[in-house]
């Protein structure tokens, strides 16, 4: 009788898998995703072209020429920057999904200085001020939900989500109202050229800023006292309290840092890529970067690879659209499939499936 | 007076898609699953639902039956949403992935699919696809006879709305009854509040979560279809639809996870969505009206957490995966 009650498949936690094996599973999941994506493309492509060639188009479209590489990097920079911002929050199990809004808040503050302070201070100084203003604004915008979480345990997932749309609405108001360029245009004029982020190797220097942030964030998360506090809170809030940590304060501090980095990204996007402010300044980056951060296991260096991968997909799909008339939304679909597969594969890294064996006493083993 | 009446009617029109989106998400969240993919689900529902009607009309031609078309649209949208939620459920319930991240991935995937289907139909049919006017009427017009609709005030208040509004109210009532008055509804809520307790009491946590999430996703998707077929006039319009899903997530909080409140909540949010067109108050920029729903939601969220009222809280285990062996 006992054997029949053993389920067909049961689960057990793995005691850590060798690193290479885990990465093999992750690579396999990417492969599976690409195959599934290929199936989707077979429906979408005009007759007679095969998905492998389409992937080829995506790769060459994203990395084939110098201009293409520059554009791909331009897409990857905000993704990477925001993923870095989100990492400490998620490590703390504080589900900050408000990066979208924090980017926007940062971009607004930076734009204010770009529009109204130009000519009053030297341009190098002004760019620094813009960056600082962006960081502070993003940080403060993130601080609001953190404050309520710390004080009244308000649900931060829903709160940060709502904050996105509030600040994006503010940009729409600025666009059509106080900051509007030509009356009726609903567009904020371009910044003066003197406050554009300088270019290094053909791409605005935001990429250097985020690469520095990668190293800084890695050190912050793994080798500082504050990073350790974040890790403890993430594992157990009660332990943190017992150890005498001021959980509320750490939460607010971490959220401020996170928002500040997102705000800095907002500044980079506004001053480097768009050279103006509009309501799509974040353009979904805040959401996509959450998946980047999570898929990288909150590892700063892995984020570089994953954000580049998504950027290649997104840039390549644009090429696919112009060359083969495939709607560019195919990149969202493939990105989605990729995320699903990579999210799902962690299960096989963390758990072991144990199948029922016939005529074998399972009970004795465990 | 007339303007006020027109505002209410328009608010109901704009609120109906939200009502479905919200009701679906309430059911999902009651099981403890926070599905942030509503935006994507509604996109899929909108595109696939529209496709269903279009190809039905194309196949049958002038003899198309209006009510059948409505049913086909609902079924197609529901199916699309259910499939999307099934992906979400499989990942979060069986494979125990993080719900926030998976939901966002679903939002990306779903908006992609919705856009793609919408675009694909446009390209393959050579131009924007549209539905015949006769058929459109069954979606957008009131199902009641003209005699009822023409009663002053009452007629336009009660009988002038699309069939979906009445279906939505019916659905809300059914959900109210199911969640509050039936044993199976109690089980579902128990799963959302404390899966470990529910499991110990012999309730099948996995099955409850799966069913609630898949059906909830299907209901949300119908909302997307309602938007496309009523407000957008049976033309694929992704710009209009974008943001509706997130608003539905907000509305779930606003009405505190209670289906009956979702009815007036969605009408109120519908009013806030269109207020800027109807009611221009000097000194208040119209664009700022549009953020009102979110501001109001934040305030509700804060006040409810400050009051710490036991009845008005998110399901206790919202957003957390359940693993029996993990104690």
Question: Min CA distance, A39 vs chain B (Å)?
Answer: 14
User: What are the chain A neighbours of B306 within 8 Å (beta carbons)?
Assistant: 152, 154
Of B95, B123, B287, the CB nearest to A169: B287
In this structure, the strands spanning A9-13 and A351-355 are: antiparallel
pLDDT at B116 over 50: yes
Quote the pLDDT of residue A211: 93
8 Å CB contact of B301 and A155: yes
pTM of the model: 0.88
- Beta strand extents in chain A (DSSP E only): 9-13, 199-200, 203-204, 351-355
At B175 the pLDDT is: 95
Which own/partner contact pairs does A222-229 have at CB distance under 8 Å and 24+ positions apart? A226/A250, A226/A253, A226/A254, A227/A88
Q: Is B204 on the interface with A (CB under 8 A)?
A: no
In A, which residues are within 8 Å of B108 by CB distance?
A: 284, 287-288, 291, 332, 335-336, 339
Q: What is the mean pLDDT of chain A?
A: 85
**Residue B218: per-residue pLDDT:** 96
Is the Cβ pair A169, B107 closer than 8 Å? no
Pairwise CB contact (< 8 Å): B291 & A291: no
Question: What is the rounded CA–CA span in Å between residue B49 and residue B66?
Answer: 14
Please give the average per-residue pLDDT across A358-366, as a whole number. Answer: 48
Closest residue of chain B to A347, computed from CA coordinates: B95
* Per-residue pLDDT tens digits for A4-18: 566 777 777 777 777
Count Cβ atoms within 10 A of the Cβ of residue B67 and give its class: 0-12 exposed, 13-18 middle, 19 or more buried: exposed
Answer whether B112 sits within 8 Å of A161, measured CB to CB: no
- What's the CA gap between B88 and B307, in Å, rounded? 33
pLDDT of A362 > 60? The answer is no
- Overall average pLDDT of the A289-310 stretch: 90
In chain B, what percentage of residues exceed pLDDT 90?
Answer: 39
Q: Which of B250, B287, B319 lies nearest to residue A176, judging by beta carbons?
A: B287
- Across the A:B interface, residue pairs with CB atoms under 8 Å apart total 159
Per-residue pLDDT for A184 more than 80?
no
In this complex, the residue of B90, B116, B298 whose CB is nearest that of residue A159 is B298
Q: pLDDT tens digit string along B13-57?
A: 999 999 999 999 999 999 999 999 999 999 999 999 999 988 888
Contact status, residue A104 vs residue A171, Cβ threshold 8 Å:
yes
Model pLDDT for residues B132-152, shown as the tens digit of each residue = 777 787 887 777 777 777 777
Which of 76-105 (B) contact A at CB < 8 A? Answer: 87, 90-91, 94-98, 100-102, 104-105
- Encode pLDDT of A103-148 as tens digits: 999 999 999 998 888 888 888 899 999 999 999 999 999 999 999 9
Strand partners, A12: A352
Pairwise CB contact (< 8 Å): A169 & B105: no
Q: Which two tokens stand for residue A285?
A: 């980056």
C-alpha triplet B251, B257, B261: angle, nearest 5°: 70
Please state the φ and ψ torsions of residue A297, each to the nearest 5 degrees: 60, 30
CB < 8 Å to A158, chain B? 249-250, 253, 297, 301, 314
pLDDT in tens, B50-78: 999 888 888 887 777 778 888 999 999 99
pLDDT of residue A5: 63
Q: Searching chain A, which residue's CA lies closest to the CA of residue B238?
A: A329
Of the two residues B267 and B152, the one the predictor is more confident about is B267
Which candidate in B92, B109, B250 is best for mutational testing of the A interface (most A CBs within 10 A)?
B109
Decide: A217 and A87 in contact? Cβ < 8 Å: yes
Q: DSSP per residue over A72-110, as a string?
A: HHHHHHHHHHHHHHHHHHHHTT-----HHHHHHHHHHHH
List the single best residue of A324, A332, A342, A350 to mutate versus B (max B Cβ within 10 A): A332
Model confidence at B279: pLDDT above 70: no
Poorest-confidence range of B6-10, B104-108, B156-160? B156-160
CB A267 within 8 A of CB A131: yes
**Is B135 an 8 Å CB contact of chain A?**
no
Which residues from A are below 8 Å from B101, CB to CB? Answer: 290-291, 294, 339, 343
Distance between alpha carbon A211 and the CA centroid of its chain, in Å? 15
Contact call for A336 and B109, based on CB within 8 A? yes
Contacts of A142 in chain B (CB under 8 A): none
Determine contact: B290 vs chain A, CB below 8 A. Answer: yes
pLDDT digits (tens, 9 = 90+) for B294-307: 888 899 888 888 87
Residues on chain A touching B109 (C-beta within 8 angstroms): 332-333, 335-337, 339-340
User: What is the predicted pLDDT for the residue at A335?
Assistant: 87
What integer is the mean pLDDT of B177-190? Answer: 93
Which one has a higher pLDDT value, A237 or A101? A101
More confident residue, A80 or A187: A80
Whether residues A157 and B34 touch (CB distance < 8 A) is answered with yes
């Amino acid at each position: 009788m006992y054997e029949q009650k053993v389920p067909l498949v049961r689960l057990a936690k793995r005691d850590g898998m060798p690193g290479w094996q885990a990465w093999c599973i992750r690579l396999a999941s990417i492969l599976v995703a690409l195959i599934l994506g290929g199936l989707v493309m077979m429906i979408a492509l005009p007759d007679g072209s095969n998905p492998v060639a389409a992937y080829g188009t995506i790769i060459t479209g994203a990395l084939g020429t110098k201009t293409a590489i520059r554009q791909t990097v331009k897409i990857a920079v905000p993704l990477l920057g925001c993923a870095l911002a989100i990492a400490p929050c998620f490590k703390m199990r504080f589900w900050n999904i408000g990066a979208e809004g924090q980017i926007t808040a940062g971009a607004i503050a930076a734009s204010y200085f770009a529009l109204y302070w130009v000519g009053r201070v030297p341009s190098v100084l002004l760019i620094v001020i813009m960056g600082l203003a962006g960081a502070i604004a993003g940080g403060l915008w993130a601080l609001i939900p953190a404050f309520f979480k710390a004080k009244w345990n308000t649900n931060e997932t829903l709160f940060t989500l709502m904050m996105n749309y509030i600040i994006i609405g503010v940009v729409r108001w600025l666009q059509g109202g106080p900051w509007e360029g030509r009356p009726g245009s609903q567009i904020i004029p371009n910044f003066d050229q003197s406050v554009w982020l300088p270019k290094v190797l053909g791409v605005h220097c935001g990429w250097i800023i985020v690469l520095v942030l990668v190293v800084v964030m890695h050190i912050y998360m793994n080798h500082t006292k504050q990073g350790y506090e974040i890790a403890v809170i993430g594992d157990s809030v009660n332990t943190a309290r017992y150890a005498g940590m001021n959980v509320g304060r750490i939460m607010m501090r971490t959220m401020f840092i996170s928002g500040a980095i997102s705000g800095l990204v907002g500044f980079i996007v506004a001053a480097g890529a768009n050279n103006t402010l509009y309501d799509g300044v974040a353009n979904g980056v805040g959401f996509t970067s959450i998946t980047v951060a999570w898929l990288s296991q909150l590892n700063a260096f892995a984020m570089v690879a994953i954000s580049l991968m998504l950027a290649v997909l997104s840039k390549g799909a644009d090429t696919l659209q112009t060359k083969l008339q495939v709607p560019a939304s195919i990149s969202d679909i493939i990105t989605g499939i990729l995320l699903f597969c990579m999210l799902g594969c962690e299960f096989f890294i963390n758990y072991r499936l144990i199948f029922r064996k016939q005529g074998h006493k399972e009970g004795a083993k465990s | 007076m007339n303007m006020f009446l027109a505002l209410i009617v328009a608010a109901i029109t704009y609120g109906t898609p939200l009502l479905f989106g919200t009701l679906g998400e309430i059911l999902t969240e009651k099981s403890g699953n926070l599905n942030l993919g509503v935006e994507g689900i509604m996109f899929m529902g909108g595109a696939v639902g529209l496709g269903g009607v279009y190809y039905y009309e194309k196949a049958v031609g002038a003899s198309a039956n209006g009510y059948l078309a409505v049913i086909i649209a609902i079924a197609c949208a529901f199916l699309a949403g259910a499939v999307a939620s099934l992906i979400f459920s499989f990942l979060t319930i069986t494979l125990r992935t993080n719900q926030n991240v998976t939901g966002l991935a679903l939002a990306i995937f779903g908006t992609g699919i919705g856009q793609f289907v919408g675009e694909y139909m446009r390209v393959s049919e050579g131009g924007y696809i549209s539905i015949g006017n006769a058929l459109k009427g069954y979606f957008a017009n009131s199902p009641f006879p003209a005699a009822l609709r023409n009663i002053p005030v009452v007629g336009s208040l009660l009988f002038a709305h699309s069939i979906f509004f009445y279906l939505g109210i019916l659905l809300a009532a059914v959900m109210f009854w199911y969640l509050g008055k039936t044993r199976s509804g109690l089980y579902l809520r128990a799963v959302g509040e404390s899966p470990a307790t529910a499991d110990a009491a012999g309730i099948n946590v996995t099955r409850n979560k799966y069913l609630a999430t898949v059906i909830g996703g299907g209901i949300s998707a119908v909302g997307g279809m309602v938007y496309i077929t009523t407000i957008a006039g049976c033309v694929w319009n992704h710009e209009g639809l974008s943001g509706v899903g997130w608003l539905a997530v907000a509305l779930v909080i606003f009405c505190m996870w209670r289906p009956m409140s979702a009815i007036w909540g969605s009408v109120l949010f519908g009013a806030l969505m269109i207020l800027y067109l109807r009611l221009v108050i000097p000194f208040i920029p119209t664009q700022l009206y549009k953020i009102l729903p979110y501001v109001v939601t934040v305030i509700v969220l804060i006040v409810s957490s400050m009051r710490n009222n036991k009845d008005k809280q998110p399901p206790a285990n919202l957003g957390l995966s359940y693993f029996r062996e993990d104690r």
